[in-house]
């Protein structure tokens, strides 16, 4: 089975959208609706997630980037959370395919260590990996709660995330484990100065998974724009889609004919 990609919108700017861990492309619907007039969008269900559950492709950034690039036109790539690591990989390694990069609550290195104070606690990631083996649904529930934390209405957002996560069936346990390993081990900080495309880094001030400082630092390393949405948590497209669209405008404005159809 091949990757599932939903093609939406009819605007002149080509845009690939990538969701986060344990989710699917449908979770980005508020943002998709807000961009339909401006963009033609290719909304991906990553391997093992949603309608791509039986795809069989490993959830590995380079493999995913190549598979998506093979079936989409040159475009701006937007990645939320874990999807940002795939979008960043594509921008660094497939420059002919990626016309711009939008990182939405996404970081080149997820786990905190002595060299990186802006990451998440490594114990949290290790615990998620361990708990997946014993209590799959409770682990997803705990992660959803972390995603909703910090939003203006965390209970409503958690309720929405619960409804969405299984709306296209349960994600494959194999790729959930692969995703945790990616979060544990990925580190693309050193490559940021080599990023050859325009980039926009958009954070939620109340994000408890990807600290805004991580994104501000990353933007400074590659000359990208940085926007912090004041009242948002880890999923700013819930309740703040218009603010996300506004932050994307410098990237979406065509700088050359190559960026449009």
Catalytic residues, by residue number, are 81, 207, 234
d(CA 157, CA 201): 22
Residue 145 tokens, joined: 């709660």
- Residue with tokens 């990645």, as numbered in its chain: 79
d(CA 261, CA 259): 7
Three-class secondary structure of residue 111 per DSSP:
strand
d(CA 62, CA 27): 23
Task: Report the relative pairing of strands 39-45 and 75-80 from DSSP bridges.
Answer: unpaired
Give the other-Cβ count within 10 Å of 6's Cβ.
Answer: 18
């Amino acid at each position: 089975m091949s990757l599932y990609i939903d093609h939406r919108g009819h605007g002149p700017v080509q845009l690939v959208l990538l969701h986060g861990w344990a989710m699917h492309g449908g979770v980005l619907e508020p943002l998709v609706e807000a961009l339909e007039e401006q963009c033609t969008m290719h909304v991906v269900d990553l391997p093992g997630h949603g309608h791509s559950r039986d795809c069989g492709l490993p959830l590995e950034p380079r493999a995913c980037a190549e598979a998506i690039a093979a079936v989409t036109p040159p475009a701006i790539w937007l990645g939320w959370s874990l999807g940002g690591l795939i979008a960043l990989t594509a921008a660094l390694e497939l420059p002919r395919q990626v016309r711009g990069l939008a990182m939405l609550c996404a970081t080149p290195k997820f786990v905190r260590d002595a060299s990186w104070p802006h990451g998440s606690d490594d114990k949290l990631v290790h615990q998620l990996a361990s708990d997946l083996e014993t209590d799959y649904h409770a682990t997803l529930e705990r992660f959803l709660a972390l995603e909703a934390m910090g939003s203006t209405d965390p209970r409503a957002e958690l309720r929405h995330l619960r409804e969405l996560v299984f709306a296209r069936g349960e994600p494959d346990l194999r790729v959930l484990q692969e995703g945790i390993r990616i979060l544990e081990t990925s580190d693309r900080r050193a490559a940021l100065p080599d990023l050859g495309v325009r980039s926009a880094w958009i954070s939620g001030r109340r994000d408890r998974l990807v600290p805004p400082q991580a994104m501000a630092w990353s933007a400074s390393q590659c000359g990208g724009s940085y926007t912090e949405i004041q009242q948002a948590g880890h999923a700013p497209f819930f309740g703040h889609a218009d603010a996300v669209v506004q932050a994307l405008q410098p990237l979406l404005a065509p700088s050359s004919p190559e960026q449009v159809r």
